[in-house]
Structure 1
């Protein structure tokens, strides 16, 4: 039983870390896209 609980905690921790990483990558891509669009339209980043 103890091993199952340990594995569940480790698995949920890894899932939370992966979720935050993907969310951060999406924010970075969105920021780069906004910067590119502003530059094309004659603005600044």
Structure 2
């Protein structure tokens, strides 16, 4: 359980560092959505 907490904290820290503004969060969310869409299209083909 402690390892999971450490991993979540590290991920949150990296996300916070990468997204300094609200528009940065929007761009990151959009990029993540695009990556999921691309992966789904690749899996379908």
Normalized against structure 1, the TM-score is what? 0.54
Gaps of 5+ in 2: 1-19
Shift of 1:16: 0.3
Structure with the bigger RCO (C-alpha within 8 Å, sep 6+) is: 1
| Poorly superposed stretches of 4+, deviation over 3 Å | none
Structure 1 segments unaligned to the other structure (5+ residues): 27-45
Deviation at 1:13, TM superposition (A): 0.2
- Partners of 1:21 and 1:13 lie apart in 2 by 12
